[in-house]
Amino acid sequence: MTWVPDNHVIFPGFYESWLYNSDSEYDFNYNDKGNFEHYMECEIDNFKEFEVDVCKGVADVINDILSDGEFVENVEYADMSSPHEYNFSTDHIHLNVDVNLFRIACNVWYDEKLHEGFDKYLHEKYSSCSGFISFVENNIEAYFDEWDYLDVLLDYWMLTKIYDETDVVDKHYDLSGYEYDIIEVADQEMWNHMKPISEVRYICDECRNDDKKQWLIDNVRKPIWNFYGEEEIKSIFENDDELKARFYKENNLVPYDQHDNVY
């Protein structure tokens, strides 16, 4: 089956989550710049590729946890989907799973603790309330009668492995070992994808300062609006190495290629 987890512990997405948030690149630069005398700010080179690589790593972690040769044979990354807006939803990972759902269902139904745990999970997560209409039955009897939204059953099964408990409700006070593992995956891919910003971006950022902007006005004598954009900076400097050298020297800037992390 294609499994799309509906629980943020299993996959929290990339919007202000443990995997990626608005401080991720800032924190990387803050921590990395101490290793260099002249450090060039870095950013993720290709965010879509970063997301896919993280998802593949998360799929590997899930596979290590779930694949037991009895209930689940294999878990592999298939795809990721993102909402048009993040008001009510977030990214979802899609996983190809070789699973015996009927065997899991029998185990959950006949094991007293699993039975109670899944019933509680359904009630807590899928009971309709103000602002939320649930399409998933909120009790175990009705859920198995309907035999629909089977991703939810696999979500619960995964959560019992994450917490090593049948009661998986309200377990978010401390990060689980699984969550630390997928955070480590995201951190590793951040290292793999963080690359120095381009020279054009470097100069453009510097020219947002009034003194650098005035230097361009005085030396290039081109009309200027609120600031120089990257396309304009590129047109000014790309064929004029002498002007670029003067810009660096007269503004006391370290040339782009002399930064220690630029190769």
Computed over every residue of the chain, the mean pLDDT equals: 94
Among the three residues 140, 160, 194, which one is the final residue of a domain in this structure? 194
pLDDT in tens, 22-52: 999 999 999 999 999 999 999 999 999 999 9
Q: What per-residue confidence (pLDDT) applies to 213?
A: 86
Mean pLDDT of all residues in 76-87: 94
Overall domain count for the chain: 2
Give domain status of residue 142, yes or no: no
Q: Is the pLDDT of residue 142 over 80?
A: yes
Give domain status of residue 119, yes or no: no
pTM: 0.91
Q: What per-residue confidence (pLDDT) applies to 83?
A: 93
pLDDT in tens, 225-254: 555 688 888 888 888 999 999 999 999 999
**Neighbouring C-beta atoms of residue 88, cutoff 10 Å:** 8
Say if residue 79 is in the same domain as residue 34.
yes
Give domain status of residue 135, yes or no: no
Look at 60-64, 168-172, 258-262 and tell me which has the smallest mean pLDDT.
168-172
- Residues pairing with 195 in the sheet: 43
Six-digit token pair at 130?
């103000």
pLDDT in tens, 10-21: 999 999 999 999
Percent of the chain with pLDDT strictly greater than 70: 96
What backbone phi and psi angles, to 5 degrees, belong to 142? -70, -35
Q: End-to-end distance of the chain based on CA atoms, in angstroms?
A: 45
Give domain status of residue 138, yes or no: no
Among the three residues 194, 214, 248, which one is the final residue of a domain in this structure? 194
Q: How far apart are CA 8 and CA 176, in angstroms?
A: 13
Q: What per-residue confidence (pLDDT) applies to 52?
A: 98
pLDDT in tens, 183-221: 999 999 999 999 999 999 999 999 889 899 889 888 886
Q: What per-residue confidence (pLDDT) applies to 224?
A: 55
Domain ranges, residue 18: 2-100+149-194
Q: Is the pLDDT of residue 145 over 90?
A: yes
Instruction: Give the residue among 222, 221, 208, 201 at the shortest CA–CA distance from 251.
Output: 208
